[in-house]
Amino acid sequence: MDQAPENSKTVDTTDTVVDTLADHRPTQQEKIPFWRIMLSVIQASIGVQNSKNRERDFSQGKLLPFIVAAVLFTAFFVLAVMLVVNLVLSS
């Protein structure tokens, strides 16, 4: 019978990079990158943020980066809407 040696490891290739990143929960000392905070704010603003990300965000402990990201996103969104309205009305 062909059996794998006891010390051999099998690799599950069904996991994706996104799943690996989503399962990573930073510790209190570990800082969440700003791009991930922006992604979290965008997902939350359109209502598609999952519970894992929400738990990760609330366990991080710092509110200021999320406030800055939300203000930046809101300003960008308002400017984008104003641009689209001006383009439509001018034509």
Q: What pLDDT is attached to residue 83? A: 97
CA 20 – CA 35 distance, rounded (Å): 16
Q: What is the mean pLDDT of the chain?
A: 78
In a domain, 11, yes or no: no
> pTM of the full predicted structure?
0.61
Is 77 inside a domain boundary? yes
Q: Please give the full DSSP string across 2-59, using - where no structure is assigned.
A: ----TT-----TT--HHHHHHH----SSSPPPHHHHHHHHHHHHHT---HHHHHHHHH
Residue 76 is assigned to a structural domain of this protein: yes
- What is the tens place of the pLDDT at every residue in 61-78? 788 999 999 999 999 999
Contact call for residues 40 and 49 (beta carbons, < 8 A): yes
Tell me, yes or no, whether 9 lies in a domain: no
Asked if the structure places residue 6 within a domain, the reply is no
Predicted confidence at residue 55, as pLDDT, reads: 87
What domain count does the chain have? Answer: 1
Domain extent at residue 42: 17-90
Residue 3 covered by a domain: no
User: Shortest CA distance to 77 belongs to which of 35, 49, 45?
Assistant: 45
